[in-house]
Amino acid sequence: MRDVAIIGIGQTPVDEHWTTSLRHLALDAGLKALKDANLERVEAVYVGNMLSGTTTGQEHLGGLVVDFLGMAGTEAMKIEAACASGAAAVRVGMMAVASGMSDLVLAMGVEKMTDTVGQQTTAALAMAADAEYEVSQGVTFVTLNGLLMQRYMYEYGWERKDFANFVINAHANGKHNPNAMFQKEISQAAYERSPMISSPVGLFDASPICDGAAAVVLAPMEYAHTLSPAPVRIKASAVATSPLAVHSRKDPLALEAARISAQRAYEQAEIEPDDLDFFELHDAFTIMAALSLEATGFAERGQAVRMALDGEITLDGRIPVSTMGGLKSRGHPVGATGVYQIVESVLQLRGLAGETQLPNARLGMAQNIGGSGATIITHILEAMG
């Protein structure tokens, strides 16, 4: 197996893109990534996406996107793993390069969520849960997170207001990200006032419905330096799974797939969690941010909320998270999110993260969660420039 590097990145600002279609979102991010890599063509394109069939009536994204990129003839496929589709596409691209089957690969994520109205989009998202035994009961994704948050508060004695710092931190960082959907701060009071969606999850516990696309170009590490002045090495890539339905997990608060995929990634990279300079975690909901920090070894069970309260997740904290806004402030165009996390990690490692640049960032982790935690993909990236 060959080491793999990221030699180009591209992203479309996350927003409600009323005037831009799915294909043009993908095209924008893909062309930016190719330009960043100084390439006109690649040998394969992998398109991460979760909802296109339901929200836009369009499947077969591999063929569509590669055609509109002007590369018909090139290998292309859609990759789906619910909200982890983006990281899954990067992982498939990495496997193609690592195996030697391809040298230059474009891996991207794209999602168009605003062509349907709210309840339809909510129902579409719920397709990542168990259709026969969860969704049939009127469960939404917010409800599944509400179930977890309620139990977490009961077991560890936290109140909803204690989760505010995950949101305050994400928005404080996202304020400076020109590609973020919400470039403004949120106060403790505003968080506490936000209306309930599915108790105890309020509007400001949840990431927004939005559109976006992001892309990376992958190449073998051995000659990445000849193509890019600042390649970033994919030091680890690991996928793990848990039972699809929350009710089928032995310990619903354990986020077992996050623990296993992070453990595999730490072993591949030969590092400990404390070696990481930052962690782009999957803060689709505040409870997911908390459970992720615990499952990946940054906090004891029930204590991630304490970490946030103590300021350990801010830019100058022990482990900065959501450094460019996370899912909460940058936005969560589901099938694209995993690629945004990796693009933002590359910006940090290249020293191009602007106002929220971390000093001497060399090693970062991005973790993308599919569904309520059934598929979790962890990447560890290292600066090589």
Count of residues engaged in binding other proteins, rule: CB under 8 A = 41
Residue 365 makes contact with other proteins by CB under 8 A: no
Tell me the CA distances in angstroms from 133 to 136, 246, 374, 375, one per residue in order: 6, 10, 15, 18
Q: How far is the CB of 157 from other proteins (least distance, A)?
A: 13
Residue 294 makes contact with other proteins by CB under 8 A: no
Binding pattern for the stretch 91-120 against other proteins, x by CB under 8 A and - elsewhere? ---------------------------xxx
Q: Which is nearer to other proteins, 69 or 124 (CB)?
A: 124
Catalytic residue (one of 17, 282, 332, 379): 332
Q: How far is the CB of 206 from other proteins (least distance, A)?
A: 10
210 is catalytic: no
Catalytic residue (one of 17, 83, 210, 379): 83
Task: Select the residue interacting with other proteins from 245, 284, 299, 334 (CB under 8 A).
Answer: 245
| Residues from 193 through 232 that contact other proteins (CB under 8 A) | 195-201
Residue 359 makes contact with other proteins by CB under 8 A: no
Task: Select the residue interacting with other proteins from 7, 246, 336, 384 (CB under 8 A).
Answer: 246
The catalytic residues are 83, 332
Which stretches of the chain bind other proteins, using CB under 8 A?
54, 118-120, 122-124, 126-127, 130, 132-140, 142-143, 146-151, 154, 195-201, 243, 245-248, 252
